[in-house]
């Protein structure tokens, strides 16, 4: 158990809908990262937050957004869903930005199926 | 820019024989390198990390990796495979580990009895 929690574990929804994935980082970790794992694209970085602020963006679609709250949990919002958004979404956390290097600890993932 | 290439998409070994999973990296700065493992329907678990302190890195479950700058490689090895090692293995590069991780395409390890 990495200490990173993600809910829900599975999500099935229809095209055009909007969903919210939730992540709680390990205790003490300030940095949260979101990744998408799909069969055709592999594991890709989406976005990073540090202590409530966006720090880096990867291959995140404009239909997707995220935020990190004062209690450090993070939510990834996916809207206008398409079939191709079906994937496993991972959240990871690490200690911080200064110093390092730090390893990232991954949650169990949320499997999103768009029908 | 940074990237990793995992040279084998599938590796099959017999239980008790050595494991070698190959990884080459490209980075414009001194990289942090990691190996993660993903068992079926599970999340990603860190096996080991290289952070410039030592070129031979020991990880969990008997795995180790050697950083070779001249060859830009970070191959993962284990002297004797166990059935429980069957999983997907990812070679990962990052700038100090506090930025986004760049994943290789993965190597699926099969262990035959």
SS3 B26: strand
Alpha-carbon span B45 to B39, nearest angstrom: 9
Residue B38 has pLDDT above 70, yes or no: yes
Q: Which band of pLDDT confidence, cut at 50, 70 and 90, is reported for residue B51? A: confident
Question: Do A30 and A72 meet the contact criterion of CB atoms below 8 Å apart?
Answer: yes
Selection from A55-59, B39-43, B86-90 with the highest mean pLDDT: B86-90
pLDDT, residue B30, reads: 77
Residue B79 has pLDDT above 70, yes or no: yes
How many beta-carbon pairs below 8 A join chains A and B? 60
* Cα Rg of chain A (Å, integer): 13
Alpha-carbon span B70 to B64, nearest angstrom: 19
Q: Is there a contact between B36 and A102 if contact means CB atoms under 8 Å apart?
A: no
Q: Is there a contact between A48 and B99 if contact means CB atoms under 8 Å apart?
A: yes
How large is the average pLDDT for residues B77-103? Answer: 88
* Closest residue, chain B, to A96 (C-alpha): B98
SS3 A45: strand
Alpha-carbon span B61 to B75, nearest angstrom: 16
Alpha-carbon span A7 to B47, nearest angstrom: 25
Residues in chain A within 8 Å Cβ distance of B96? 100-102
pLDDT, residue B37, reads: 96
Best residue in B6, B34, B44, B45 for a mutation probing chain A (most A CBs within 10 Å): B44
pLDDT, residue A96, reads: 67
SS3 B62: helix
Name the minimum distance, in Å, from the CA of A14 to any CA of chain B.
23
Compute the C-alpha angle B74/A103/A53, nearest 5°.
130
Question: Do B68 and B84 meet the contact criterion of CB atoms below 8 Å apart?
Answer: no
Task: Render each residue's pLDDT in chain A as its tens digit; 115 residues.
Answer: 889 999 999 999 999 999 999 999 999 899 999 999 998 889 999 999 999 999 889 989 999 999 999 999 999 999 999 999 999 999 999 986 655 567 889 999 999 999 9
Better pLDDT: A34 or B51? A34
Q: Is there a contact between B42 and A96 if contact means CB atoms under 8 Å apart?
A: no
pLDDT, residue B1, reads: 75
Residue B19 pairs in a beta bridge with B78
Q: Which band of pLDDT confidence, cut at 50, 70 and 90, is reported for residue B110? A: very high
Asked if A93 is an interface residue toward chain B (Cβ–Cβ < 8 A), one would say no
Residue B100 has pLDDT above 90, yes or no: no
pLDDT, residue B52, reads: 74
Of residues B94, B103, B57, the one with CA closest to residue B76? B57
Question: Do A4 and A25 meet the contact criterion of CB atoms below 8 Å apart?
Answer: yes
pLDDT, residue A101, reads: 60
Question: Do A68 and A52 meet the contact criterion of CB atoms below 8 Å apart?
Answer: yes
């Amino acid at each position: 158990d990495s200490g990173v929690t993600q809910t829900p574990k599975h999500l099935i929804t229809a095209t055009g809908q909007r969903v919210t994935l939730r992540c709680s980082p390990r205790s003490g970790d300030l940095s949260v990262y979101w990744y998408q794992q799909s069969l055709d694209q592999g594991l890709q970085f989406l976005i990073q937050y540090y202590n409530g602020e966006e720090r880096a963006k990867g291959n995140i679609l404009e239909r997707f957004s995220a935020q990190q709250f004062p209690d450090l949990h993070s939510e990834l919002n996916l809207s206008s869903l398409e079939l191709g958004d079906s994937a496993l979404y991972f959240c990871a956390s690490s200690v911080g930005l200064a110093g390092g290097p730090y390893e990232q600890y991954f949650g169990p993932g949320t499997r999103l199926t768009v029908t | 820019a940074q990237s990793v290439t995992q040279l084998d998409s599938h590796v099959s070994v017999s239980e008790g024989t050595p494991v070698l999973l190959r990884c080459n990296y490209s980075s414009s700065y001194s990289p942090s390198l990691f190996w993660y493992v993903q068992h079926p329907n599970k999340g990603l678990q860190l096996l080991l990390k290289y952070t410039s302190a030592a070129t031979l890195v020991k990880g969990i479950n008997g795995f180790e990796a050697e950083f070779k700058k001249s060859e830009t490689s970070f191959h993962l090895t284990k002297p004797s495979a166990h059935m429980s090692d069957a999983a997907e293995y990812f070679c990962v590069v990052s700038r100090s580990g506090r930025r986004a991780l760049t994943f290789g395409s993965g190597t699926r390890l099969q262990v035959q009895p």
